[in-house]
Amino acid sequence: MYDLTGFQRDLLYVIAGLDDPHGLAIKDELEDYYEKEIHHGRLYPNLDTLVEKGLIEKGQRDRRTNEYSTTRRGTREIEARVEWEARYIDHSE
């Protein structure tokens, strides 16, 4: 996960957390978080990068809608990242 951009990492987290991760749902979730519009030209190439890296899988719901899901590797990467972050964050506050 060290080689992902922050945006790509956020995409991975959103896909792992959504019940129905398809392009527009992912886009809406990130727009809420970033409080600005996410353009298709930014979203879909980054999703394709995550597919190429083996962190997510891309399927087709219908002719216009792609579905995404985390792979086992993607889930392991998220878990490892959360463990790494926990070493540096004081949870006792």
| 3-state secondary structure at position 58 | strand
Q: In whole angstroms, what is the distance from residue 10 CA to residue 30 CA?
A: 8
What is the CATH architecture assignment of 6-86?
A: Orthogonal Bundle (1.10)
- Domain ranges for the chain: 6-86
Two structure tokens written together for 41: 């030209």
Two structure tokens written together for 61: 């719901």
Name the percent of the chain lying above pLDDT 70.
97
Q: What is the pLDDT of residues 53-67, one digit of tens each?
A: 999 999 988 888 899
pLDDT at 30 over 80: yes
